[in-house]
Chains A and B, each alone.
Chain A
Amino acid sequence: MSARISASLVVNDSGEIACMSCGHALGPSGQPWKNAATLSETPLQGAAGEPYSNAANVLLRKFYCPSCATLLDSESALEEDPFLNDVVHI
């Protein structure tokens, strides 16, 4: 039986982090998973309409499930900053 570790991820019976929507595995539990996701990095400026027009030099990182394309997580970041990593011990 899988156990949720975030709003979009679970740890499956095999001890792997997996997409909550389709079950696609993203790596071993307790390890960073974002490198196994499909990454989109676009400017936050204009990301969702005119109110985002003055965002400057900041990226909107979106991490998609490589199988079902569900958006698993997002973060705004300057280019030089690393991914935010969350580790849940199940």
Chain B
Amino acid sequence: MDPITFSIIRHRLYRVIDEAVITLKHVSGSAITNEGHDLMVSLYRADGSLLMGGVGFLHHLTSAAEACKSIIRRFEGRIDEGDVFLTNCPYTAALHTSDVYLVAPIHYDGKLVAWSACFVHVYDIGAMVPGGFSPDSRDIFTEGFSSPGLKLVEQGEMNHDIMDTLLNMVRAPEMVALDLSSMIASNNVARERMVALVHKYGPEAVDQACQMLVDQSEESFRERLRELPDGRWESRQYFDIEDETYRVLLAMTKKDDTLTFDFTGSSEQSKYGINCAYWAAWGGFFAPLFPLLCYDITWNDGVLRPISMIAPEGTIVNCTRPAPISLATVGAIQSVNNAACICISKMLSASEKYAKEATAVWHGSHFAIFMFGQNQKGQEAIGIMTETFGGAGGGRSFADGVDVGGEIPNPIGRMANVETTENHFPVRYLFRRATIDSGGPGKYRGGTGLEYAIQQHDSPDGGIHYVVSGKGTKFSMSDGLGGGYPGAPCNYRWVHNNEAAAEGKNVNPFATSTEQMTGEQESVSWGVYPLMDQDVLYVRSDGGGGYGDPLAREPERLARDVRHGSVSAGVARRVYGVVLDAAGEVDTAASEAAREAIRAARLSQAAAE
């Protein structure tokens, strides 16, 4: 095939996905899809293997391939033009029940030539708790509707029996119908554009280009691996739930042009829904691998071929049915993301050519707050606070982590503005801002996380409920790199202003910090809680990991950090050894003396920092 035709077809495939994503967003009505971009659209070969990875949450690229393959097996001989299939079973392919896959065969002249697949986190899935994150579930049977495969659309006609049954099992069925419709529309657009592509260039030429694309990715990726040194790198993630501590252990071995991810030693599966199944762990390390190692390589099955995984059965990275799994995405999957990010970055750091691609961990906790209840318009409001997509960036060899900068697994993730959230939920923000001293110190510091506080406002029920379901508050999950400190842990507090008011204390309705709040502050990290009347929910996300020795940070950067409220003067002096004068300028002599004192203390093994 001539290279120009190949390039045109390759770019057309990208554009097919772009247009399908736009369609999905235009039809879906939920904030998690439109504001947070908790979505994914990709294209697959006729055998279900990944052809062209799209945007959105990257750990879905490979899991949706398994969804296509499972549908091919289940519906062998019954896959027709115009069909759309649904699966959301985590033990088949999906990450958790809320992330529903709709996959559609693409036919040309009666022959299956490709698949399109997409997902959104649907508005509700009928779990114990509205929205799908179900911390009280102790098995998958209470985590909502789950199917290993359904034919939702048959030869272009909606199967209303199935659709109506689904909508009968969920809250806010009109919103779930919109979510499912958005995915049907997305698949329709992908199919139409793919058929047009095949019609223009012919099925043989398109098939040849697709095969070349996959082979090209494999060849390019293996070449990149050969450029990197052989070795074995370790990482470890901790998290806590209700006084139980969990570990995700990873040893990544690179040999010649292959990589092995070995999770041996990770904790046994939990009674809480933070477990993930095999294909979720598989997708979990591809989420950082694609952008860190394959930023200039097409994300497809060719990248998967040099990779193997060891994930012992019965552990939190390969749990067995019916273990609960509804929080996998912010649970074990995110820990796999983080562990892989560090191992890959340590490997990159061992290469002169690729060291600049390394990064400390971004957004390690993926803290998540779900809200549910009647809103000020009398509607059933269910959804995630999209700050969960506003993670803190990790430091790199040439730059600080981006403050409230997003996350690696979702390059297009974003969070809603305050007004959008206040319009959807009966709440008002007391404040939302970057958190001082939250970024992990380093030559290049981690990005700052954020903190916000909300109160109910104009709720017909006097308040709303929220679900806290991250991975605890005791551990830092955004590891540093090359000596950089980990970012600060999360923090969630229920401020009991109602009790304070009942005791006759003044409650400041316009508090702009937790210090100005009168009520007792109770730490919470797991479960469902009320947000009633004058009570406040305070949330602080984790900071990004730092890169390199904090003593190597240019003093002028600290002066700027302190001016901007990213680092306090105390931490600048104590951790970075930079002293500022009354005007906020660097006191060079005092800073040199402070750094010398820290170095001396290091060598005497005193904990001067």
Contact = CB atoms under 8 A, between A and B. Distances in A.
Interface of A: 3-8, 38-40, 42, 44, 47-52, 54-58, 60, 62-64, 66, 68-78, 81, 84-90
Interface in B588-609: 598-600, 602-603, 605-607, 609
Nearest to A55: B489
B602 A56 contact: no
B358 interface: yes
Contacts of A75: 236, 479
A14 B397 CA distance: 27
Range class of the B interface residue count: 35 or more
Interface in B67-106: none
Given A4-B351, A57-B474, A52 B232 contact: no
A4 B238 CA distance: 29
A62 B484 CA distance: 9
Interface in B473-487: 473-476, 479-486
State the main secondary structure of chain B at its contact with A.
Answer: loop
Given A52-B488, A64-B603, A86 B346 contact: yes
A55 B437 contact: no
B540 interface: yes
Interface of B: 229-236, 238, 245, 247, 346, 349-352, 355, 358, 397, 435-438, 440-441, 449, 473-476, 479-486, 488-489, 491, 523, 540, 543, 547-552, 567-568, 570-571, 575, 598-600, 602-603, 605-607, 609
A42 B574 CA distance: 14
Nearest to B252: A86
A6 to B, nearest CB: 5
A51 B435 contact: yes
B234 A85 contact: yes
Contact of B602 (A7, A38, A44): A38
A84 B488 CA distance: 20
B485 A51 contact: no
Nearest to A5: B350
A63 B440 CA distance: 16
Given A85-B234, A86-B233, A51 B438 contact: yes
10 contacts: A38-B602, A40-B602, A40-B606, A40-B607, A54-B491, A55-B475, A58-B476, A62-B602, A74-B480, A86-B233
A38 B552 CA distance: 18
Contacts of A4: 349-352, 355
Contacts of B438: 49, 51
Nearest to B435: A51
A40 B549 CA distance: 14
Contact of B479 (A48, A57, A76): A76
Contacts of A51: 435-438, 449, 488-489, 491, 540, 543
